[in-house]
A and B are shown apart, each in its own frame.
Chain A
């Protein structure tokens, strides 16, 4: 009686082993091929690097953080590795250069300047940033995390890219006062999940109904305009029909870290890019915390068409 091993030709065994090896190798190469922010040198910078990565990797500013480059496409993925430019009835808003370039970046800003831009949307000289910068979400970012993020931003390689001025039809105004930020990030899972959803990963930016304010945002989904047309950022509440009520907590955590949906399919559109560059860097505890928070949301439906 022949064994399976004997029935498989040695060359074919080599082929099978090669395929299996190639799968692992391809994954490792692909992961390394993706643009990575510079390494941190201190624990504070390491925390800042992690915050930057899970805060959508500051993705609007580009994989090189140099902002939108004149002459390049407006939106991802074709704008990469530079940032995006947003064009609409509000005007034209290119993402700014946040590298340490002395001419076109933010090297000359003080740490306090950078903190204010992140959490209050105010640049040096009182210049108010556009609402596309999610400062109102970041306003609730823990002070220790903001300090770490600022420390890490100082590590970004300078890239000279003078970004054109924005042209807005209506200048941005100050919003309603927001509650002060905590000193440090929560540790209890649901509270940590809420913190990440609302103040770090800024899920509310795409998934909250358009009119809701931060802190009261209902994650009932929204239609977004993208380079590929209109895309629905889905309802993240526990509604079983239009939301993710059928997903288990484990499903959500796995999706955030790998892009694999419960039905075996993959994340699509900009969410796929965000998972690769940002949410795949969530720790297992952070992904579980986000999942726990989302599973705690009541089922709700939005009115988007």
Chain B
């Protein structure tokens, strides 16, 4: 491995390990049962340091005062943080990456909040200033969460939740539509599938009380994953 890349990868892993361990301590202090979202509603990051599936973004943003620390690795290894503001947007910052990639800034704004009937609609940008190894990528995305109660009404299956996503983006998304789906079981495990830039990615995700692990098989040939911890600041 290129020594420069090895250094950046090691740095990202160490930053992630320290950050997540601090997050775990803080999480234990500030999370109480009444404020933890259902697992299927967790605003988990994918592999691109933003709330989403694997490479596709979702229209969801972290809640007010929610901070997520994350580490991810696929074509590039990153450590980063996501901050939600006023339930209407998120700012993500990440460091690491290939080709000497530096620090990148992601942003997403929720244009239409989700209701029981209407989906959420958001617009965002990855690597807004073109400063990391990723392409600058603007996108528009629509997401709908079908809660377990309605899945049971429609299918008779208990404790399943479904989240559907569809959007369009440039850059990483190559000026093409993208779609994705998550099927959540009652024990906090989800199966993920998405089509991004005409390529299929599949994966799995686990969420428990603010912690998340996402693993994926990208384009049928490359593995990727992320770990994250979310705390709500008092």
Contact = CB atoms under 8 A, between A and B. Distances in A.
A92 interface: no
A250 to B, nearest CB: 12
B37 A263 contact: yes
Interface in A72-91: 76-78, 80
B116 A272 contact: yes
Given A241-B34, A268-B147, A77 B153 contact: yes
B98 interface: no
A216 interface: no
Interface string A184-226: 0000000000000000000000000000000000000000000
B234 to A, nearest CB: 10
A23 interface: yes
A180 interface: no
Given A78-B153, A259-B116, A268-B38, 18 more contacts: A9-B175, A15-B168, A20-B121, A23-B119, A77-B149, A77-B150, A228-B149, A241-B34, A260-B114, A263-B35, A263-B87, A264-B87, A264-B114, A267-B147, A272-B116, A272-B149, A273-B149, A276-B117
A143 to B, nearest CB: 33
Contacts of B114: 260, 264, 266
B61 A264 contact: yes
A264 B121 contact: no
B149 A268 contact: yes
A289 B115 CA distance: 21
Interface of A: 7-9, 12, 15-16, 19-20, 22-23, 26-27, 30-31, 76-78, 80, 227-228, 234, 241-242, 258-260, 262-270, 272-273, 275-276, 280
A5 to B, nearest CB: 13
Interface residues of B, number: 42
Contacts of A262: 63-64, 87
B156 interface: yes
A272 B37 contact: no
Contacts of B176: 12
Nearest to B111: A20
Interface in B107-133: 110, 112-121
Interface in B45-79: 60-61, 63-64, 66
Nearest to B152: A77
Nearest to B123: A16
B101 interface: no
Pairs A-B, 8 closest by C-beta atoms: A77-B153, A259-B116, A263-B63, A258-B115, A27-B118, A264-B87, A265-B41, A30-B117
Nearest to A226: B149
Contacts of B188: none
A19 B159 contact: no
Contact of A16 (B140, B147, B153): B140
B176 to A, nearest CB: 8
A275 B147 CA distance: 13
B38 to A, nearest CB: 6
A78 to B, nearest CB: 6
A19 B142 contact: yes
Nearest to A77: B153
Contacts of B175: 8-9, 12
A22 to B, nearest CB: 8
Nearest to A29: B117
Nearest to B167: A19
Contacts of A258: 115-116
A242 B33 CA distance: 9
B159 A78 contact: no
A280 B63 CA distance: 23
A260 B145 CA distance: 12
A275 to B, nearest CB: 6
Nearest to B176: A12
A8 B139 CA distance: 11
